[in-house]
Amino acid sequence: MTLDERRNRLLRVWIESFEHELPSFDRVRGRNRLLEAQRSLEARMERRRWFRGGFFAAAAFAVLALVIRIAWPQTTTFTVAGQPGEVGEWLATSTTESLALDFSEGTHVALESGSRARVEQVGRRGARVEIERGAIKAHVTHRPDAGWRFAAGPFEVVITGTNLDVNWNPDEGKFELSVQRGSVLVRGPNMRSPQEVRAGERYRVDIKNNKTELEQVTPTSQDGSDAANGLAPTSAEPTVAPAPVSRPSGSENQGRVGQAAPSWLALERSGNYAEALAVAERGNISKIYQSAQADDLLHLAEAARLSGRPDVERDSLRACRNRFKGTPAAARAAYYLGRSSGAREAAQWFEAYIREQPDGVLAREAAGRLIESYQRAGNANAARQASTRYLATYPDGPHATLARQVLAQ
């Protein structure tokens, strides 16, 4: 017998012995155990899928919250003389001391001696400071979305970034605002629209005597940047003699400082429309059409309209449209032209406004006046189309009833 044969014989014995010794096996128990384990595994997988889904949802939420936290500006906080300040708390200074308020976004406000004020509100973009009496000096950090307001009696100064002084004397009813850098808007009693005050200008209101003055107190550079950077000393005096301010632009801008007579713009702002128009015409009104800023042309048109001079109003508005094409001011000029035109032409101007400023502040009014214009012009088809558009956009607007009547005809 060869070695291979003997080895094969051992292998046969090996196989035979293992077959003989194979343990009995409880097949039913094994099957039940397997199926039970399988059900348990599937339940576990299901829970894991839910957990994984929940985990990813939680992770997405956390990332979103982080992005919002980073992107969303934080509420402004402030300190008063280095101590945490409290919103709404009145702050008063003696006749010899001032108080420093430092805001987290960089703005610095100094409450001058003999003053009383409080931080009335703080928001993510700024704060509202109420001045009961006295003076403040403010250096407001410039940010495109800054929302700073200083309230002084019936006046409110709206700021995006500037250096300014505000003084309010409630006993005498006198408000004074000086701007060293940037520009601000002032709202107050007897003001038809907000008053813009630019760098180097001082705006004074005497409520009791019904007097308003806007004057140049420091020279400004041609680009409108400021004469003063940072807070000016309390005792700072104007570097040149105060002078009333006109608001022409271009070459006329050079003549703002030290101008003796009030300009047409100053007169327009003070409500003397006929006189403003007369001053404009005594000078070279064509030059104003050619060089004035867009807003000034709208002011001139307004003065002309209220003075019963539609020719100057239209020339001024057309100049605005020709020179400032595509701007909101040009669209506004179109609206004003529509307001002062005959029905057919008016419709074209209102269409122009809606086309140029579909979301503009006058869009709803222009859409409504468009219906009226087409109706007056006898263009029933166009009036119906305008009515349909109006109702689709402004179903509860002031011209909605008219629009429905037009469509019902």
C-beta closer to another protein: residue 15 or 261? 15
Query: Which residues face 162 on adjacent strands?
Result: 140
> Exposed, middle or buried: residue 172 (CB in 10 Å: 0-12, 13-18, 19+)?
exposed
Short-list 200, 302, 211, 284, CA closest to 248: 284
What span, in angstroms and rounded, lies between the C-alpha atoms of 188 and 195?
A: 9
Rg of the chain in Å (alpha carbons): 38
What span, in angstroms and rounded, lies between the C-alpha atoms of 217 and 200?
A: 6
Supply the minimum distance, in Å, between the C-beta of residue 16 and another protein.
Answer: 7
Supply the minimum distance, in Å, between the C-beta of residue 37 and another protein.
Answer: 6
C-beta closer to another protein: residue 35 or 67? 35
Report whether 329 contacts 337 (CB < 8 A): no
State yes or no: residue 9 binds another protein (CB under 8 A).
Answer: yes
What span, in angstroms and rounded, lies between the C-alpha atoms of 279 and 51?
A: 79
What span, in angstroms and rounded, lies between the C-alpha atoms of 324 and 213?
A: 30
The count of C-alpha atoms lying within 13 angstroms of the C-alpha of 211, restricted to the half-sphere facing its C-beta, is 11
State yes or no: residue 41 binds another protein (CB under 8 A).
Answer: yes
What span, in angstroms and rounded, lies between the C-alpha atoms of 72 and 61?
A: 16
C-beta closer to another protein: residue 41 or 81? 41
State yes or no: residue 47 binds another protein (CB under 8 A).
Answer: no
State yes or no: residue 49 binds another protein (CB under 8 A).
Answer: no
C-beta closer to another protein: residue 15 or 67? 15
Task: Kindly write down the DSSP assignment for every residue of 222-271, as one continuous string.
Answer: TTS--S--SPPPTT---SS--EE-----GGGGGG-TT--SPPHHHHHHTT
State yes or no: residue 43 binds another protein (CB under 8 A).
Answer: no
C-beta closer to another protein: residue 36 or 97? 36
Of the candidate residues 38, 104, 190, 322, the single one contacting another protein (CB under 8 A): 38
Size of the site for another protein (CB under 8 A): 26
Structure tokens at 82: 């280095």
Supply the minimum distance, in Å, between the C-beta of residue 15 and another protein.
Answer: 6
State yes or no: residue 23 binds another protein (CB under 8 A).
Answer: yes
DSSP SS3 for 83: strand
Phi and psi based region of residue 378 (left: phi greater than 0; alpha: psi -120 to 50; beta: remaining):
left
C-beta closer to another protein: residue 29 or 192? 29
Q: Angle 294-306/328-339 helices, nearest 10 degrees?
A: 20
Of the candidate residues 33, 44, 48, 344, the single one contacting another protein (CB under 8 A): 33
Report whether 203 contacts 186 (CB < 8 A): yes
Q: Which stretch binds another protein (CB under 8 A): 32-40, 149-157, 164-172, 369-377?
A: 32-40
State yes or no: residue 11 binds another protein (CB under 8 A).
Answer: yes
State yes or no: residue 361 binds another protein (CB under 8 A).
Answer: no
C-beta closer to another protein: residue 8 or 210? 8
What span, in angstroms and rounded, lies between the C-alpha atoms of 369 and 352?
A: 12
Q: Label the pairing between strands 162-169 and 155-159.
A: unpaired
Supply the minimum distance, in Å, between the C-beta of residue 45 and another protein.
Answer: 9
Supply the minimum distance, in Å, between the C-beta of residue 3 and another protein.
Answer: 8
Supply the minimum distance, in Å, between the C-beta of residue 33 and another protein.
Answer: 6
DSSP SS3 for 10: helix
Supply the minimum distance, in Å, between the C-beta of residue 43 and another protein.
Answer: 14
The total number of residues written for the chain in this structure: 409
Of the candidate residues 31, 47, 48, 355, the single one contacting another protein (CB under 8 A): 31
- Give the H/E segment covering residue 139: strand 127-140
Supply the minimum distance, in Å, between the C-beta of residue 27 and another protein.
Answer: 6
State yes or no: residue 6 binds another protein (CB under 8 A).
Answer: yes
State yes or no: residue 284 binds another protein (CB under 8 A).
Answer: no
C-beta closer to another protein: residue 41 or 65? 41
C-beta closer to another protein: residue 5 or 223? 5
C-beta closer to another protein: residue 16 or 86? 16
Q: Which stretch binds another protein (CB under 8 A): 8-16, 257-265, 281-289, 384-392?
A: 8-16
- Give the H/E segment covering residue 92: strand 90-92
C-beta closer to another protein: residue 10 or 59? 10
Sites of contact with another protein (CB under 8 A): 1, 6-7, 9-11, 13-18, 20-23, 25, 27, 30-31, 33-35, 37-38, 41
